[in-house]
Amino acid sequence: QGDFEIIIRDPGVIGAMMRRPTLDTIIQQYVAKGVDFSGGTLVDFGHQLQKDGKSVKLKPKDIARLGLKLAPFMFAKSDGAKDAHGFEGDITGGKRKTADNKDFIQFHYDLSNDFYALFLDPEMVYSCAYYTDWSNGVEQAQRDKLEMICRKLRLKPGDRMLDIGSGWGGLVCHAAQNYGVKAHGCT
């Protein structure tokens, strides 16, 4: 493996890393184009952080020396995107309080349709897909999944169906259009 470098492309990166030195922060900075990697990838960076299964730790004197050199960057303003999206609370749920649950739900679900359209199929089906062929794209795989669900339910014209947690209604629409059922969705 050759020389691996982290390229800092934004003055706010160092401050962000000093305030919250986590892999999540470096990933956010990478997505926002604040950092890049030369001689490897983000995965290689993760491997560089661990050697022989142990995390690499800096000695206190090295941390102090590094802190002095990086102090001028601590409050540097970022040139990058201001719409970063991250949850600061307990993501495991083990220590989460009721108030945090509301914040956690809002963090995950109170996003625009434009965000989900970046990676979902045109019907906006927000669950796993069913690939019947390796060459199928996500759009076909989602249609195949909806078709399989309707077949397993043995739907026929005139049946009534309730989809709880229907999201954007992909299953409801598919069942009504292709099987003639009276379908309702609740999201």
Report, as ranges of residue numbers, the positions in the chain whose pLDDT lies below 70: 1-2, 49-56, 79-100
pTM over 0.85: no
pLDDT of amino acid 74? 73
Is residue 97 a part of any domain in this protein? no
Domain with 160, as residue range(s), is 138-186
* Domain end residue (candidates: 50, 73, 96): 73
* Domain end residue (candidates: 73, 100, 121): 73
pLDDT of amino acid 125? 92
Helix intervals (H) in the chain: 12-19, 23-31, 42-49, 60-70, 98-109, 113-117, 138-152, 170-179
Is residue 117 a part of any domain in this protein? no
pLDDT of amino acid 92? 57
Is residue 152 a part of any domain in this protein? yes
Is residue 9 a part of any domain in this protein? yes
Q: How many domains does the chain have?
A: 2
pLDDT of amino acid 90? 55
Is residue 47 a part of any domain in this protein? yes
* Domain end residue (candidates: 40, 73, 106): 73
Is residue 103 a part of any domain in this protein? no
Question: Which residues on adjacent β-strands are paired with residue 184?
Answer: 162
Is residue 48 a part of any domain in this protein? yes
Query: How close are the terminal C-alpha atoms of the chain, in Å?
Result: 50
